[in-house]
């Protein structure tokens, strides 16, 4: 059960946009619209920011958006703010009825 | 609002056992799938297990045969019985409610397996 593939780190300046990719296989990301994204600032629990590929829970700014193409899902954060600095994780349902997480991406706001 | 409070973590020797609990409030507990996810120190998230509202259960291969998930809807509580613990089970364990294939998380409880 290997993890979904995410870049270890991304960075951007305030006001810019960044995109974090999450690559799986036809047994998970490619077959289901059950991809979610989580934000985890240091020392805190993860927080849901995107569910079912592109839906935002109430209270999550529309600067956060999600998409999917084939076996790769993406999280885009536009209008970067200092408070966005955190670790980001993707997750997908799998054909084995389990959940699989990405390895995580550290976002640095320059 | 949704609240999930984990308890039961601590220090245990290799080969030992521990039972984690998660007290849920702010929603109809029996309606939801519930998960355990863990995070080793300085590492990423690892899904451990979930139990559906109908009590169907799934486990990660890394814990299958050693861990048992259960729920008590009357007590609005989720449990994780962990046996034959190993050093690599050391992690913060999070309880999470699943809805629309997105997870809402508790604050976690730390489990340390060490002699």
Average pLDDT, chain B: 97
Query: Does the beta carbon of B45 lie under 8 angstroms from any beta carbon of chain A?
Result: yes
| C-beta atoms of A1 and B60 within 8 A | yes
The dihedral built from the CA positions of residue B97, B103, B109 and B115, taken in this order, carries a sign that is positive
Q: What is the pLDDT of residue A2?
A: 83
Q: What is the pLDDT of residue A83?
A: 96
Q: What is the pLDDT of residue B101?
A: 86
- Average pLDDT estimate for B56-83: 97
Query: A82 and A14 in contact (C-beta within 8 Å)?
Result: yes
pLDDT at B69 over 80: yes
pLDDT in tens, A67-94: 999 999 999 999 999 999 999 999 999 9
Query: Does the beta carbon of B47 lie under 8 angstroms from any beta carbon of chain A?
Result: yes
Q: CA-CA distance, B101 to A101, in Å (whole number)? A: 13
| C-beta atoms of A46 and B94 within 8 A | yes
- Average pLDDT estimate for B28-34: 97
Residue B20 DSSP class? E
Q: pLDDT under 70 in chain A at which residues?
A: 1
- Average pLDDT estimate for B49-72: 97
Residue of A nearest to B103 (CA): A48
Residues in chain A closer than 8 A to B102 (CB atoms): 36, 48, 50-52, 55, 57
| Sheet with B18-25, side-by-side order of all strands | B3-7, B18-25, B77-82, B67-72
Number of other CB atoms surrounding residue B41 within 10 Å = 9
Query: Does the beta carbon of B103 lie under 8 angstroms from any beta carbon of chain A?
Result: yes
Q: CA-CA distance, A71 to A65, in Å (whole number)? A: 17
Query: Does the beta carbon of B105 lie under 8 angstroms from any beta carbon of chain A?
Result: yes
Residues in chain A closer than 8 A to B5 (CB atoms): none
């Amino acid at each position: 059960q290997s993890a979904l593939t995410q870049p270890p780190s991304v960075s951007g300046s305030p006001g810019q946009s960044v995109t974090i990719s999450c690559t799986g296989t036809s047994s998970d990301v490619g077959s289901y619209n059950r991809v979610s994204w989580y934000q985890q600032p240091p020392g805190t629990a993860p927080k849901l920011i995107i569910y079912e590929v592109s839906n935002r829970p109430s209270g999550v700014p529309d600067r956060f958006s999600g998409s999917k193409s084939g076996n790769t899902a993406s999280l885009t954060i536009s209008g970067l703010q200092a408070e966005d600095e955190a670790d980001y994780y993707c997750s997908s349902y799998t054909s084995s009825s389990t959940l699989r997480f990405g390895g995580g991406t550290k976002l640095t706001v320059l | 609002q949704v609240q999930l409070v984990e308890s039961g973590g601590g220090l245990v020797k290799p080969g030992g056992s521990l039972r984690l609990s998660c007290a849920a409030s702010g929603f109809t507990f029996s309606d939801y799938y519930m998960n355990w996810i863990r995070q080793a120190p300085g590492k990423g998230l690892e899904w451990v297990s979930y139990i559906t509202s109908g009590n169907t259960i799934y486990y990660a291969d890394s814990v299958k045969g050693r861990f048992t998930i259960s729920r008590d809807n009357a007590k609005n509580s989720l449990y994780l019985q962990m046996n034959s613990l190993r050093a690599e089970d050391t992690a913060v364990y999070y309880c999470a409610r699943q809805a629309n294939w997105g997870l809402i998380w508790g604050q976690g409880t730390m489990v340390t397996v060490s002699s």
